[in-house]
Amino acid sequence: MLFNTPEYFLFLGVVLLIYYSTTPRVQNYMLLAASYLFYSFWDWRYLSLILLSTIVDFSVAQAIGHTSQPGRRKLWLGLSLSVNLGILGFFKYCNFFIHNAAAALTWLGFDPHLPVLNILLPVGISFYTFQTMSYTIEVYRGKMEPVRNLADFALYICYFPQLVAGPIERPQNLLPALQNKRTVNGEQFISGCLLILIGLFRKIVIADGLSAQIDPIFASPALFSSPELIMGVFLFALQIYCDFAGYSDIARGSSRLLGIELMENFNQPYFAANVSEFWQRWHISLSSWLRDYVYIPLGGNRHGAFNTYRNLLLTMLLGGLWHGAAWTFVAWGALHGLYLIGIRLMGHIWPFQQQAADGQFSGQRLLGMAITFPLIMVTWVFFRAPGLSASIEFLRHAAELRQMEMWATVWPAMLAPLLLVLLIDIPQFWGRSHTVLLQWPRPLRDAVVALLLFVILLGVGTRAPFIYFQF
Amino acid sequence: MPRLSIFSFDTLQTRVRPGRWLAYWLLLLMAGEGLLSMGAITAHLPRPEPTLWYSPRIQDKLDYLHAFADARSLDVLFIGNSTVQAGLNPAQFDEAVANLHVNTPRTGRLRTTIQPGSFNGALEALPPSGMLWFLQIYLQDVHPQTIMYGLTPQDLNANNTFAHNVLDLLKDSPEALALTEHGWRGWLTARLLRWSNLYRYRFVLHQWLLRGGLPPVPYKINFDARGFAGGTLRLADEAPGERAKHYAVIGNMHYAIAPAEVEALRQIIQLCAARGVQLVLINMPLADGYYASFPDADTDYAAYLTALTATADAAHIALWDMEALPPVQAPTDADFYDFHHLNRAGAAKLSALAAARYEKPN
């Protein structure tokens, strides 16, 4: 069940009606049942994986909480990580390793006949696996007590607004919200609805609408001029942002209607003045997860320049591989890792300094954006193209600067969707709030909301799955 | 509204008025309907719905088909998935039929007087259930004498991911919904397409908005004016290690016969019979490497062929098995550009073979 379908809103409406009319004691059980039902719409068989992770991590955390011996605590943590990473590795990466092993053996002159697994990738497995792992790690680190109620913990793993594509919530944020009594007042309700509306606008009007222009360009780049290729990747940068940020808006809006606040996952990432800041604004829940559970445990920046660069590169390679079992994602992560190393090397030179003032388009920010956005665009080629060689081919054709006269027809097609994105992003950036619209004068606010509803209606019917569902 | 357990409207009335949002929205809808009923405005807009799937290439294929049928008589319509689009070249088929100098055993006459007009109406990835929808759309406006339907094992595979994706798109296409009026969405869509200008023009307006009111960037069409998409690469030129990439475009490797697709094939047969169209099924040729993608190639392929043969036999429909050609006629790796798509050379061979078996109905 996708967030941009009538079925989802029917489902959400029924859930809200029951939720608002039940007592807090019953609400979590009801949300748990709703979440399992939500996941079952995709494939009920894979619920068993969620249940397995839930039971293992609940039990492991209890066991860690009952012992103070470091060796035993480590052993229990190892068990939890092995189970979670084992499931993720099997379903997501097994065929990738088999294909590469076969290619390596062929290269060495063998004639391998390795079996290929005929399995579907469980939706959201990367998201909920990282979420449940963060709980066990936090308990192991002694930063939180194990949860006593299995239902509360099960809901933490499979809470439907963020189950299949995040945000990857931290236990310190989501668990207390699930354990405490919730209230929803009118303003929360309206701001939740507004977030959903903004999410639908981003997804339906911008992201889905751009597919018609992007897909043919990435399907056969050799047929297009350099300006068209640049347009293709530019539009893809907008599309993936609006697709994923739109999803996150709908997830946060839906959850706010339930009185549960989810973390911000996107914060105008293309306004970042450098790549380091980009990662503080793009998929924040993943980048902070990688920082806290990979980069810092690897040593972070504590052991000299070389080790810092190594840690950055390893973290981003893992981040790339998290997105998918393909060399394109590895290359995508490696490029980001190299960019971050570059930032470290040039961090003392303006405009590459670490931070530009938030909420303001200062000279430093504008120049930084002009440098950062094209760098990010190059990485999106690897993210979108069907293979590594196709990515390089795409970049090669774009760099050939063929038929540059096509700019005259291409630039308006880039400008219009950019303006639609900025229509939402600039007010949010200036107002430092995703629901800044509610602070506007009433006639303007009412007109903008009606206009959003109107253009969403235009796009209804061009439905496509959220790109991040595949991860 | 009574105060519920956790929900309160206490502060709602003071700050926001959702009723006004809806009122403004309705005003915009009415204004849109009014403007789009004015010919002076719609004259400057692109063609509205129906645009199949919102996909230019599919709409182009339909437009090409209509243009062809308007210009000359449509004798043969090829349908199927991308293997048919790449594997049967209408121009070569027509030429081969016209140039046949074969004495027919019964009449002893030459068949050189036949001048067929054929068109390739195949659409990428479509299994029979999708083809059934499109065939209904095709047959609304064109009237071929013969339909040649090429199939591959993936057409009847319940686990063909490409088919699932394309069927999901088709399921949501307004035209497909309106055509069958399936469910409440189909019922509603049919009426909206009929009565609402805003609904009919919404895709045009959406794209207009995304392009800032400027015309679309021209796109490339991968098939010619008769619907044929010929490839030039040769599988034979690729080293064995390079060929693994082709497995990714076959579809899901887990094979199971889909009863719904077999049923759709039966419905296609019934539809053709009802319209008085001669139907021929073609089992499309495949490269040897194709079978390596199946865990149990012999069993899987046998299941497919059994289902296909049984369906054809039950309806007394001709089935040309191009996968069981004598070695001298069978395409080789030099005739394919991947494991299941013929290249131009392969398409020329298959078109000639189909032409040799073609009997124009009386």
Per-residue pLDDT reduced to its tens digit, A134-177: 999 999 999 999 999 999 999 999 999 998 887 999 999 999 99
Query: How many angstroms separate the CA atoms of A163 and A144, rounded?
Result: 22
Last residue of a domain, one of A120, A153, A182: A182
- The question of ipTM being above 0.95 is answered as no
Domain count, chain A: 2
Choice between A33 and A44, residue whose per-residue pLDDT is larger:
A33
Choice between B5 and A231, residue whose per-residue pLDDT is larger:
A231
SS3 state of residue A243: helix
Q: How confident is the model at residue A283 (pLDDT cuts 50, 70, 90)?
A: very high
Q: How confident is the model at residue B2 (pLDDT cuts 50, 70, 90)?
A: very low
CB-based contacts of B38, cutoff 8 Å, min separation 6? none
Q: What angle do CA A145, A151, A153 make, to 5 degrees?
A: 40
**Are both A75 and A218 inside the same structural domain?**
no
In contact, A285 and A263? CB cutoff 8 Å: yes
- Angstrom distances, CA of residue A161 to CA of A456, B3, B278: 21, 25, 53
**Are both A349 and A397 inside the same structural domain?**
yes
Q: How confident is the model at residue B315 (pLDDT cuts 50, 70, 90)?
A: very high
Please indicate, yes or no, if residue A13 is contained in any of the structural domains.
Answer: yes
List residues bridging with B120 in a β-sheet: B78
Query: How many angstroms separate the CA atoms of B283 and B291, rounded?
Result: 15
Tell whether the model's pLDDT for residue B103 goes beyond 80: no
Tell whether the model's pLDDT for residue B239 goes beyond 90: no
- The per-residue pLDDT of chain A, averaged, comes to 88
Closest Cβ–Cβ partner in A22, A210, A461 for B5: A22
- Cα Rg of chain B, angstroms: 25
Mean pLDDT check: name the lowest of A115-129, A297-311, B7-21, B264-278: B7-21
Which pLDDT score, from 0 to 100, does residue B13 have? 47
Q: How confident is the model at residue B277 (pLDDT cuts 50, 70, 90)?
A: very high
**Are both A376 and A431 inside the same structural domain?**
yes
**Are both A297 and A420 inside the same structural domain?**
yes
Residue closest to B84 by CA, chosen among B281, B268, B260: B281
Mean pLDDT check: name the lowest of B103-112, B117-126, B286-295: B103-112
Choice between B87 and A449, residue whose per-residue pLDDT is larger:
B87
**Are both A262 and A244 inside the same structural domain?**
yes
Choice between B24 and B250, residue whose per-residue pLDDT is larger:
B24
Last residue of a domain, one of A152, A182, A212: A182
Rounded to the nearest 10°, the torsion over CA A142, A146, A152, A153 is 80
**Are both A96 and A245 inside the same structural domain?**
no
Q: How confident is the model at residue B55 (pLDDT cuts 50, 70, 90)?
A: low
**Are both A168 and A195 inside the same structural domain?**
no
The stretch B133-152 carries a mean pLDDT of: 92
Tell whether the model's pLDDT for residue A262 goes beyond 90: yes
Please indicate, yes or no, if residue A308 is contained in any of the structural domains.
Answer: yes
**Are both A149 and A199 inside the same structural domain?**
no
Tell whether the model's pLDDT for residue A61 goes beyond 70: yes
The stretch A80-89 carries a mean pLDDT of: 92
**Are both A343 and A402 inside the same structural domain?**
yes
Mean pLDDT check: name the lowest of A219-223, A375-379, A394-398: A219-223
Q: Which residues of B touch A457 (CB under 8 A)?
A: 29, 202
Structural domain of residue A177, as residue ranges?
6-182
Query: How many angstroms separate the CA atoms of B189 and B182, rounded?
Result: 10
In contact, A281 and A40? CB cutoff 8 Å: no
- The per-residue pLDDT of chain B, averaged, comes to 83
Interface test with A, best of B4, B5, B58, B169 (most A CBs within 10 A): B5
List residues bridging with B283 in a β-sheet: B151, B321
Please indicate, yes or no, if residue A387 is contained in any of the structural domains.
Answer: yes
Tell whether the model's pLDDT for residue A54 goes beyond 90: yes
**Are both A159 and A226 inside the same structural domain?**
no
Q: Which residues of A touch B254 (CB under 8 A)?
A: 118
Choice between A24 and A308, residue whose per-residue pLDDT is larger:
A308
The reply to whether residue A21 touches residue B5, judged by beta carbons under 8 angstroms, is yes
The stretch B180-193 carries a mean pLDDT of: 80
Residue closest to B240 by CA, chosen among A386, A111, A114: A111
In contact, A165 and A471? CB cutoff 8 Å: yes
Which pLDDT score, from 0 to 100, does residue A34 have? 95
**Are both A44 and A166 inside the same structural domain?**
yes
Q: Which residues of B touch A453 (CB under 8 A)?
A: 21, 25
Tell whether the model's pLDDT for residue B109 goes beyond 50: no
Last residue of a domain, one of A182, A215, A250: A182
| pLDDT tens-digit series, residues A197-226 | 999 999 989 998 888 788 878 888 888 889
Mean pLDDT check: name the lowest of A124-128, A370-374, A380-384, B163-167: B163-167
Q: Which helix (H) or strand (E) holds A38?
A: helix A24-43
Tell whether the model's pLDDT for residue A458 goes beyond 70: yes
The stretch A408-424 carries a mean pLDDT of: 89
> Beta strand B278-283 with B146-151: parallel, antiparallel or unpaired?
parallel
Tell whether the model's pLDDT for residue A183 goes beyond 60: yes
Please indicate, yes or no, if residue A1 is contained in any of the structural domains.
Answer: no
CA distance A326 to chain B (A): 13
Which pLDDT score, from 0 to 100, does residue B274 have? 95
Q: How confident is the model at residue B171 (pLDDT cuts 50, 70, 90)?
A: confident
Q: Which residues of B touch A450 (CB under 8 A)?
A: 21-25, 27-28
Quickly list DSSP for B72-116. Answer: S---EEEESSHHHHHH--HHHHHHHHHT-----TTT----TT---
Catalytic residue among A283, A323, A336, A434: A323
**Are both A129 and A270 inside the same structural domain?**
no
Residue A323 is a catalytic residue: yes
